[in-house]
Amino acid sequence: MSAPTGLDAADLADPARLRPNDPCFCGSGRKFKRCHGPSFERVRPGTVGPRRDVPDDIERPHYAAEGGRSRRDVPDVQDADTLEAMRRTGRAAAEVLRDVGAAVAPGVTTDELDRLCHEACLAAGGYPSPLNYGDPSFPKSICTSINEVICHGIPDSRPLRDGDIVNLDVTLFREGVHGDTNATFAVGTIDELSRRLIAVTRECLEKGIEAVRPGRPTSDIGRAIQDHAEGHGFSVVRAFTGHGVGREFHTGLHILHYHEPRDRIVTMEPGMTFTIEPMIALGAWQVRMWDDGWTAVTTDGRRTAQFEHTLVVTDDGCEILTLHPDGRWSGTP
């Protein structure tokens, strides 16, 4: 492809009508099906396998048996003990994400990634937070979101294909607290536009994290993310936000990834814990839901990427609680 981010809406109006063996619209000279073609093929649901068991000696969150959502009206500023537990759990979640991410390859099913995540969480002495969370309750231990799936994809029998991008969202519950982190991975060789999307999305999370300061409104975060994404010609998904996290998976605190002047003003303060998890789209940011009640996809079928960290506000900025011990972020650079 000639210009990395040079594809605009006009370039992308026609590809939907190209046939597989036509030369690709991007001018690469390759067949459409071998070049940008895969970017226009929709993800289809596969078969979801049975729920995996959790041994009795693993401590469970309150929703594990009956499903149900988080309690929203809990404090977002943590005491010292809770924070110490969140440091340990966050780090362990980052290690699980790294390990599951290492298994991403063409031919691997998302259900296999679910098995790896489930076993890694148990091996870490924790519970995979997604399992049985919500209403309807999420049936698996990790969210796997491929291509135009924005978030909350349910692992199933679909094998990853060369050229896909996949987000793995890991949340671990241990010592009474959740650590929530995700990253987007290339499957085999991906097209240049997808690579740009992943890089810009990672930068969006970096910019959001840099905007965290005690005394400042949480809206600084969304403004920084939106400016960066739109500056690169991409869009910000609005329907899903970052959230307060700690003893509950999702508290009533919402961290927007775009600027909304009408949003409630919340001032960041030391000890406050929340996630930042921008979902950035190549095209439309509007959402459509699959019938499973969880899988969220873009209305135009174009790709999205996401990165997420759990963090705590400090006296002069923030500390990332879901940093891997080696300090590097997971996912495609």
* Burial of residue 46, with CB atoms counted within 10 A of its CB: 0-12 exposed, 13-18 middle, 19 or more buried: middle
Contact stretch for ligand MF3 (CB under 6 A) within 55-63, 83-91, 133-141, 187-195: 133-141
Q: How far, in Å, CA of 22 to CA of 300, rounded?
A: 22
- Using CB under 6 A, pick the residue from 169, 175, 191, 248 that binds ligand MF3: 169
Residue nearest to ligand MF3 (CB): 130
Q: Which does 214 bind (CB under 5 to 8 A by kind): Co ion, ligand MF3, none?
A: none
State the minimum distance, in angstroms, from the CB of residue 277 to ligand MF3.
Answer: 5
Q: One symbol per residue from 247 to 276: x for binding ligand MF3 (CB under 6 A), - otherwise; what is it? A: ----------------------------x-
Q: Which of 43, 143, 186, 318 binds ligand MF3 (CB under 6 A)?
A: 143
Q: Give, as ranges, the residues between 174 and 193 that touch Co ion (CB under 5 A).
A: 180, 182
Closest of 193, 194, 206, 196 to residue 307, by C-alpha: 206
The reply to whether 133 sits near ligand MF3 by the rule CB under 6 A is yes
Q: How far is the CB of 299 from ligand MF3 (least distance, A)?
A: 20
Q: How far is it, in rounded angstroms, from Cα 14 to Cα 322?
A: 42
Give CA–CA dist 224/206, Å, rounded: 10
121 binds, among Co ion, ligand MF3, none (CB under 5 to 8 A by kind): none
Q: Which stretch binds Co ion (CB under 5 A): 80-88, 114-122, 168-176, 262-270?
A: 168-176
Q: Parallel, antiparallel, or unpaired: how do β-strands 127-128 and 165-174 relate?
A: antiparallel
Cα 89 to Cα 270: distance, rounded to the nearest angstrom: 19
Amino acid 41 reads E
Residues 6+ positions from 258 with CB-CB distance below 8 Å? 222, 225, 226, 236, 238
- Of positions 190, 277, 331, 332, contacts ligand MF3 by CB under 6 A: 277
Q: Which residues inside 174-233 make contact with ligand MF3, applying CB under 6 A?
A: 180
For Cα atoms 74, 218, 176, give the angle at the middle one, nearest 5 degrees.
30
Q: Rank residues 111 and 191 by Cβ distance to ligand MF3 and give the closer one.
A: 111
Alpha helices in the chain (DSSP H): 80-101, 110-123, 192-210, 219-231
Q: Is 171 in the site for ligand MF3 (CB under 6 A)?
A: yes
Residue written as tokens 């370039």? 11
* For Co ion, the closer CB: 169 or 175: 169
Binding site for Co ion (CB under 5 A): 169, 180, 182, 275, 308
Binding site for ligand MF3 (CB under 6 A): 130, 133-134, 138, 143, 152, 169, 171, 180, 243, 275, 277, 294, 308
